[in-house]
Amino acid sequence: MITLQPGLIHHPGLLDRAAQAALLDAIRNIVRASPLFTPVMPKTGKPFTVRMTNCGPLGWVSDQAGYRYQPQHPVTGTPWPAIPASLLDLWQRVAAAAPPPEACLVNYYAANARMGLHQDRDEADLSAPVVSISLGATALFRYGGVSRTDPTRSIRLSSGDVVVIGGASRLAFHGIDRLFPGTSTLVPEDGRVNLTLRRVTLPG
Ligand code: SIN
Ligand code: FE2
């Protein structure tokens, strides 16, 4: 476990290969029930390079109307599938003090996808961390402070790594600059899957 900065904790290799493969299988089932969609940026309508789906009672979506959480898939209109038990167990391992997660955003990165610097701030409960799980190709993860202009640092996230974004870093800017091909055989074609577990509503 490495503290990158206050509240930002990196757990390299927390999931072994068998756990990664089992989790990817669970995600394949989720994608079958709840297909990947291409979100677009609010206002501009510019498409993201990542494709997304969700599991849990709530899912994060972005379209021209804005960013929000909603209980149904934006294209099929059906409820998101349940969060796999293995992910709820993982939350208990790294974020036990927080109430249970309500949303798991599934981000699929093809080899050339990236994600611009952003904050995760659409949750009413900002006391709970965001827990991020990386599967597949190694990614260059950039993180900074709570202001977009704060200096940033970068680390590589490998398959099986978990990052907890909480405490003083809960609103830290972060993003993925690029993937590194040939770094994992877990996801075909040098792809990557990132899962982020989020508590959305205030408990009670
Ligand atoms: C995200 O910030 O939603 C994804 C981060 C990642 O892909 O590691
Ligand atoms: Fe994020």
Query: Where along the chain do its domains lie?
Result: 2-198
Token readout for 15 is: 């999931």
The rounded distance, in Å, linking the Cα atoms of 54 and 158 is 22
CATH of domain 2-198: 2.60.120.590
CA of 163 to the centre of ligand 1 (A): 10
Instruction: Please report which confidence band the pLDDT of residue 107 belongs to, taking 50, 70 and 90 as the band edges.
Output: very high
What integer best gives the mean pLDDT of the chain?
98
pLDDT on residue 186 = 98
Q: What is the pLDDT of residues 112-164, one digit of tens each?
A: 999 999 999 999 999 999 999 999 999 999 999 999 999 999 999 999 999 99
State the pairing for strand pair 8-11/2-5: antiparallel
Q: Strand 103-109 to strand 153-157: parallel, antiparallel, or no bridges (unpaired)? A: unpaired
Least distant ligand from the CA of 175:
1
- Ion ligand 2 residue ranges (Cβ < 5 Å): 120
Q: Given pLDDT bands bounded at 50, 70 and 90, which one contains residue 204?
A: confident
Counting from 1 in the atom list of ligand 1, the atom nearest the Cα of 118 is 2
Take atom 5 of ligand 1 and give the residue whose Cα is closest.
175
